[in-house]
Amino acid sequence: MPRLNMVKALNLALHQEMERDPDIVIIGEDVGVDGGVFRVTDDLHRRFGGQRVIDSPLAEAAIVGTSIGMALYGLKPICEIQFSGFAFQCFHQIENHAARYRMRTQSRFHCQMVIRMPYGGGVRALEHHSESEEQFYAHIPGLKMVIPSGPRNARALLVSAIRDPDPVVFFEAKALYHAGREEVPEEVETLPIGQAQVVRPGRDLTLVAYGAMLRVAREAAEVLAAEDGVECEVIDLLTLSPLDRATLVASVQKTGRAVVVHEAPRSFGPGAEIAASIMEGAFLSLEAPVRRVAAWDVPYVGFAREKAVLPDVARVVDACRETLAF
């Protein structure tokens, strides 16, 4: 079984799905001849040609708007926004149209499309290239919001997103593109959208994370086990919308405590919805308030100072200890 990083795993998913289904097309800035700014679409233009792997102008609204038209026609577009910070230029197309066509036409038409976006910090980049804006898309009815945490589940979730009949926003943490390798089977593999995974069982506290923050949560759990004898149950959400509330509630009913970790700013972020879901489903099991460890509520500072903004292992460990001591 080959060991792939996330870039290669995503490329494998795109290659195999385009071979399987001739209606799949890719469109975006530099996705064709250059193979994408992060090389996720590498070699697809040579293999499938310029009519299926389309280099677009620098126009995000045109990329998504064209993809919506393709989807209504019956194609299955995968569009790439080069960085998630650029997506506000096409947000009206996503919210006003892609998310609404099934309801607008009483299910006569649907938008089967994937909107891929690299997101997040940890790579010392400048503003608009490093933010985490997942909360905007998770809030929109009609969209699905997927955020993988490693090469294998990234490949499997991208296949599921491509095959889903409704629009899927697919966030890829840039910090994870080359962070490590995992065994990824050559045969096609899928994961259900909307289903979280318990990646580390525990009994004392529930740690909830997704994307690049999963690694931070797992490292924090190891520190707590080694230094405090605390066994944290770590949940990888994988999907923000629909949110797997059942897995969250079941875990907190067992542990009685929860800490949520995400890269997006704290106020009105995904952690608030996760905390509310836990309160609604496991209130009588809680032994302490749900804590959130997130980016600070400031415009993204970027470059070397981003370490002062993003959650790290020390902040997560401190939040867990405060929760356990409540």
Longest dimension (CA), the chain: 60
Q: With 0-12 CB in 10 A as exposed, 13-18 as middle and 19+ as buried, what is 106?
A: exposed
Per DSSP, what are the bridge partners of residue 265? 295
Cis peptide before 242 (omega within 30 of 0): yes
129 is catalytic: yes
Nearest CA among 318, 309, 320 for reference residue 120: 309
3-state secondary structure of 318: helix
What stretch of H or E contains 69? helix 60-73
- Residues whose CB falls within 8 Å of the CB of residue 32, separated by 6 or more in sequence, listed in order: 26, 41, 44, 45, 50, 53, 54, 55
User: For residues 284 and 153, what is the distance between their CA atoms, to the nearest angstrom?
Assistant: 33
CA–CA gap between residue 137 and residue 95 (Å, rounded): 8
Q: Which of 129, 139, 178, 262 is catalytic?
A: 129
3-state SS of 117-148 is EEECCCCCCCCCCCCCCHHHHHCCCCCEEECC
Render the burial of 271-289: b for 16+ CB within 10 Å, e for the rest: bbbbbebbeebbeebbeee
Contacts of 97 (CB under 8 A, 6+ apart): 65, 68, 111
The rounded distance, in Å, linking the Cα atoms of 213 and 229 is 22
- The span from the CA of 8 to the CA of 14, in Å, is 10
Q: So which residues are the catalytic ones?
A: 129
